[in-house]
């Protein structure tokens, strides 16, 4: 059976393959939206015919079949892990009608949906708890340390190895709905447990896709390690199997944090981002200590009146950084930059670098996390240079050619190796990413 939640995080070698993989993520994230295949094709900037052909070549199934599988897998998860009624499960998974859901479920699994019900799932009435699988091994300690050191105060935190953050979505009536998302590791199941506030149910497929992206659940670690194990010839033990590429929950949030993190410490960047969230983000009552605001959207920043430097300056954000953040927000609002559908990461990087104050380092780190581009490589990064010293910048680029198409994963391995006494921990005071 097709398992889209475990689809390989491949770095495709041509535009057609890139399109197919972007399409798969798009279908999964929007499986509950009811959009047509033609609408998906338009969002990807291609014809419906090319969309279907590219997808079928890459995955050996049609986009419709893939979408049905995404919906069925989400429905199975909801049936076994939540108290939602079968009708609510059908609607949340995007089937549109209970009859259609029952018919397809029985055809595919030869049992009615109700047969998968557990007696009483261990969840609160105001929350949904679901399980997302990954391919082992998974270096959880390195991932959770990375996120803990870069957590934005008021927006996200890591307590007892649990990652928790605020989230929001805009419903059909253009009203913001807020809630909280928590992620925990279940190594015995090779999975993550995701607890989501019931208020966020209408946006469930989208939120689960964001969690998968943040924690890199699409990764095929064996394929990554097969290529990057050559790093150990350069520096023994620097490459570890199962290292993941930290993605993002919100591309704009992560991009702003990268801009704020230019030439300052990890902690300082987090502090500035927290002030930005508290001042311009929406307040949220999560019931979780310390989680009080959602990070402002690109629309929120672009809509600020007056001089942007005067608005952000009192927070400690320099004029140049403020102007860069505003320019990025305006390009996102105007549709010039769309991180979610960047079929050509190199083109998006050029767009980013056209923004005054946003250079190679920042563009590459945004590509790593906000675009989840596995071949991004911030070769000018201080940590990369230190891990590969005494090589010159030119020599670093030359040796990194051996790491394609996984140079972003190579970068994470290099950062991890800088922790004293271990090759698999994040050094706390490298530039934030």
Cβ contact 329:296 at 8 Å = no
Question: What pLDDT does 14 receive?
Answer: 63
Q: Reduce the DSSP state of residue 342 to 3 states and report it.
A: coil
In a domain, residue 1? The reply is: yes
Report the alpha-carbon distance of residue 257 to residue 271 in Å, rounded.
Answer: 10
Instruction: Show the domain range for 31.
Output: 1-81+84-119
Cβ contact 293:281 at 8 Å = yes
In a domain, residue 16? The reply is: yes
Report the alpha-carbon distance of residue 340 to residue 29 in Å, rounded.
Answer: 10
The helix or strand, by DSSP H or E, that contains position 98, with its residue range, turns out to be helix 98-109
Report the alpha-carbon distance of residue 198 to residue 101 in Å, rounded.
Answer: 22
Cβ contact 308:325 at 8 Å = yes
Domain count, the chain: 1
Give the list of residues 6+ apart from residue 168 with CB closer than 8 angstroms, or none: 176, 177, 178, 179, 282, 284, 294
In a domain, residue 51? The reply is: yes
Name the one residue in this structure whose structure tokens are 């995080």. Answer: 9
Report the alpha-carbon distance of residue 29 to residue 51 in Å, rounded.
Answer: 17
Q: Reduce the DSSP state of residue 51 to 3 states and report it.
A: helix
Report the alpha-carbon distance of residue 270 to residue 153 in Å, rounded.
Answer: 7
Question: What pLDDT does 125 receive?
Answer: 59
Report the alpha-carbon distance of residue 342 to residue 337 in Å, rounded.
Answer: 8
Put residue 47 in one of left, alpha, beta given phi > 0 → left and psi -120 to 50 → alpha: beta
Q: Reduce the DSSP state of residue 163 to 3 states and report it.
A: strand
Cα torsion angle, 353, 357, 358, 359, sign? positive
Cβ contact 101:113 at 8 Å = yes
In a domain, residue 274? The reply is: no
Cα torsion angle, 370, 371, 376, 379, sign? negative
Burial 41-52 (b: 16+ CB within 10 A, else e): bebbebeeeebb
Residue 53 Cα to chain centre, angstroms: 27
DSSP structural state of residue 166 = E
Cβ contact 232:58 at 8 Å = no
Tell me the whole-structure pTM to 2 decimals. 0.89
Report the alpha-carbon distance of residue 112 to residue 184 in Å, rounded.
Answer: 31
DSSP assignment string, 241-302 = TT------S-HHHHHHHHHHTTTS-HHHHHHHHHHHHHHHSPB---SSTTB-BPPPPHHHHH
Cβ contact 268:278 at 8 Å = no
In a domain, residue 69? The reply is: yes
Give the C-alpha distances (Å, rounded to integers) separating 103 from 62, 83, 113.
Answer: 20, 21, 10
Per-residue pLDDT of the chain (433 residues; tens, 9 = 90+): 333 333 344 444 467 887 888 899 889 988 888 788 998 888 888 899 999 999 999 999 999 999 999 999 999 989 988 888 999 999 999 998 999 999 999 999 999 998 887 654 555 557 899 999 999 999 999 999 999 999 999 999 999 999 999 999 887 777 889 999 999 999 999 999 999 999 999 899 999 999 999 999 999 999 999 999 999 998 899 999 999 999 999 999 999 999 999 989 999 999 999 999 999 999 999 999 999 999 999 999 999 999 999 999 999 999 999 999 999 999 999 999 988 777 788 989 999 999 999 999 999 999 999 999 999 999 999 999 999 999 999 999 999 999 999 999 999 999 999 975 443 333 333 343 4
Cβ contact 62:40 at 8 Å = no
Question: What pLDDT does 115 receive?
Answer: 85
- If one counts every other C-beta atom within 10 angstroms of the C-beta of residue 274, the result is 21
The enclosing domain of 8 has a CATH number of 1.10.10.60
Cβ contact 213:248 at 8 Å = yes
In a domain, residue 170? The reply is: no
Question: What pLDDT does 396 receive?
Answer: 96
In a domain, residue 393? The reply is: no
Which residues are paired to 291 by β-bridges? 154
In a domain, residue 89? The reply is: yes
- Taking alpha carbons only, the member of 93, 50, 89 closest to residue 68 is 93
């Amino acid at each position: 059976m097709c398992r889209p939640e475990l689809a390989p995080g491949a770095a495709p070698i041509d535009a057609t393959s890139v399109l197919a993989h972007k399409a798969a993520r798009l279908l999964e994230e929007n499986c509950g939206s009811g959009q047509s295949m033609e609408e998906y094709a338009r969002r990807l900037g291609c014809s419906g015919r090319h969309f279907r052909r590219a997808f079928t070549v890459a995955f050996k199934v049609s986009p419709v079949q893939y979408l049905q599988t995404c919906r069925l897998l989400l429905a199975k998860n909801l049936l076994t892990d939540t108290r939602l009624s079968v009708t609510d499960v059908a609607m949340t998974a995007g089937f549109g009608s209970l009859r259609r859901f029952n018919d397809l479920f029985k055809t595919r699994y030869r049992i009615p949906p109700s047969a998968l019900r557990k007696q009483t799932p261990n969840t609160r009435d105001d929350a949904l708890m679901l399980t997302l699988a990954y391919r082992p091994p998974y270096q959880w300690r390195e991932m959770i340390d990375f996120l803990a050191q870069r957590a934005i105060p008021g927006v996200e935190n890591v307590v007892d190895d649990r990652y928790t953050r605020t989230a929001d979505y805009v419903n059909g009536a253009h009203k913001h709905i807020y809630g909280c998302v928590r992620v925990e590791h279940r190594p015995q199941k090779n999975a993550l447990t995701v607890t989501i506030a019931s208020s966020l149910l209408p946006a469930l497929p989208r939120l689960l896709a964001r969690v998968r992206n943040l924690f890199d659940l699409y990764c095929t670690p064996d394929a990554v390690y097969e290529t990057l194990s050559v790093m150990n010839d350069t520096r023994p033990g620097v490459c570890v199997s199962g290292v993941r590429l930290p993605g993002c929950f919100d591309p704009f949030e992560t991009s702003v944090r990268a801009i704020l993190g230019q030439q300052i410490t990890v902690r300082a960047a987090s502090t500035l981002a927290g002030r930005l969230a508290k001042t311009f983000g929406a307040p949220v009552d999560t019931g979780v200590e310390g989680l009080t605001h959602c990070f402002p959207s690109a629309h929120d920043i672009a809509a600020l009146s007056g001089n942007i430097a005067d608005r952000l300056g009192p927070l400690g954000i320099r004029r140049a950084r403020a102007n860069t953040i505003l320019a990025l927000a305006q390009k996102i609002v105007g549709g010039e930059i769309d991180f979610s559908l960047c079929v050509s990461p190199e083109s998006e990087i050029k767009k980013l670098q056209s923004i005054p104050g946003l250079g190679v380092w920042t563009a590459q780190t945004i590509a790593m996390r906000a675009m989840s581009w596995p071949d991004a490589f911030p070769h000018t990064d201080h940590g990369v240079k230190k891990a590969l010293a005494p090589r010159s910048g030119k020599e670093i680029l030359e040796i990194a050619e051996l790491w394609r198409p996984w140079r972003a994963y190579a970068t994470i391995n290099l950062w991890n190796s800088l922790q004293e006494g271990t090759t698999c921990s994040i050094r706390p005071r490298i530039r934030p990413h």
